[in-house]
Amino acid sequence: MNRLPIFLDLRDRRVAVVGQGSLAARRVDTLSRAGAEVSLFAEHPSDEFAPLEGKYRHGDFSAPEAFAGFGIAYFAYEPGEQPNEALIARVREAGTLVNVADYPALSDFITPSVLDRSPLVIAIATGGDAPLLGRMLKARLETLIPANYGRLAALAGAARAALAKKLTNQQARLRFWERVYDGPIAETMLAGDDATAKSMLDREIESCRPDGSASGDAPTGEVYLVGAGPGDPDLLTFRAFRLMQQADVVLYDQLVEPAIMDRVRRDAERIYVGKKRANHALQQEEIGELMVKLAREGKRVLRLKGGDPFIFGRGGEEIEKLAAHRVPFQVCPGVTAAAGCSSYAGIPLTHRDYAQSCVFVTGHGRDGPIQLDWASIIRPRQTVAVYMGLAHLDFLTKEFMRHGADPALPVAIVENGTRPNQITLTGTIADIAAKAAAHGLRGPTIIIVGEVVTLRDKLNWYTPHRAPEASDA
């Protein structure tokens, strides 16, 4: 390690910035937000400094002691501008540490890429050799570290004094914090419930044993109801991925892709609970009872559902059961099938020239085809997305026409949407059922009805990872 990483407290400390372009403006903005007392040395500051007025003082190059009293100085030259090495030497002679952007050999220190989750701050540096690599690694960490980790750090900081009074042994405090950061208190904070997390932490401090372990209370589990999206693992949210990594047991069904299950924590128990059409491994009531049982055993239960759990996913029914039994839970939404499949098929659900509204309906009820409100569904300039409609497609298309839909109304069926084996079949209300039967579509599918389907030829961008059949449209 040829450079020592440090974090400076710059509040009310004098810092100089030399430069007059965009890089210097960014330096001034960052330093002022860190609480520094910034002086800008620039002969002709650019317009980018206008929003920063009041955040810095104007320095005078010609003053004999112009750079006296500054702890650090940033030289922010624009591309093509050569460093003024005489001025840099003059500043260094005043006892000031110098950073010259893009010139590590002229610098006493370098500025890392910073991931700011204040008070949690992560800095990444490459010694000035590969700054772009540092920024790329920072971008990856942005996806892995939720913003609420900063609030968790602040919560812990506010409780340190109270814990120190309760636990004088350093190892006991370490054990306590390890349990907090890997348990329900941290999870509650990351879910955004600050007040509950604080109450939980206060109770935990009050009841902890002298060795820092938990009191003898029964373990408390939790259920994570998570939407896995329509199939492509890249469509998982950051929060979904985090919950998938910390679950002890996973309840999953037919619509969850194996590639998504690969993202679940390796040692988590996996329980298949269905569901194929008319062939459920477990009935809905049994799934609810199982979640309650596992949570009461102290386990973190991941209920992983295809698409979004609150859009025809029966998620509301499942958490009603949890709420009735006072089992803690949280819900993480996912990309619903209509949004994901239409995007990957090149069919916008709304478009200023074709559709100003979109409705989601299900084509499958408890006892077969569902009776829909056709008057509200069949309207001009409206898109209809039908979930679970393939099994009753012939009935649905006939009902569309019986209630006044134009037989030439465009329709698309997207099978295995967003997945490597995606197939998109287009036709009209009059012929789509016959086409689907001829192609042997089996599902899962989303059916899109409306003029927006005609945009597919122009907007289709996604190429499945297999050679499409000639009959694919």
Count of other CB atoms within 10 angstroms of residue 132: 9
Rounded Cα distance between 61 and 42, Å, is: 8
Q: Which of 116, 182, 234, 253 is catalytic?
A: 253
Backbone φ and ψ for 58, nearest 5 degrees, come out as -95, 125
Residues 6+ apart with CB under 8 A from 373: none
Burial 243-275, CB ≥16 within 10 A → b, else e: bbebbbbbbbbbbbbeebbeebbeebeeeebbb
Q: Residue 430 in contact with residue 407, Cβ under 8 Å? A: yes
Q: Phi and psi at residue 387, in whole multiples of 5°?
A: -90, 145
For the purposes of burial, counting CB atoms within 10 Å of the CB of 160, is it exposed (0-12), middle (13-18) or buried (19 or more)? exposed
Distance from C-alpha of 18 to C-alpha of 41, rounded to nearest angstrom: 5
The active-site residue out of 275, 299, 305, 435 is 275
Task: Give the dihedral of Cα atoms 57, 63, 64, 67; nearest 10 deg.
Answer: 20
Beta-carbon contacts of residue 178 (< 8 Å; ≥ 6 apart): none
**Catalytic residue at 253?**
yes
Whether a cis peptide bond, with omega within 30° of 0, leads into 309 is no
Q: What is the largest CA-CA distance in the chain?
A: 90
- Residues with Cβ within 8 Å of residue 168, at least 6 apart in sequence: none
Catalytic status, residue 275: yes
Closest to 16 in 3D by CA, of 102, 88, 116: 88
Angle between the 170-181 and 194-207 helix axes, to the nearest 10 degrees? 150
DSSP tag of 20: -
Asked if 75 and 98 count as a contact pair (C-beta separation under 8 A), the reply is yes
- 403-411 contact pairs (CB < 8 A, 24+): 403/374, 403/375, 403/377, 403/378, 404/374, 404/378, 405/378, 405/429, 405/449, 409/449, 409/450, 409/451, 410/449, 410/450, 410/451, 410/452, 410/453, 410/454, 411/447, 411/448, 411/449, 411/453
- Rounded to 5 degrees, what are φ and ψ at 443? 100, 175
How many residues does this entry show for the chain? Answer: 473
Catalytic positions are 253, 275
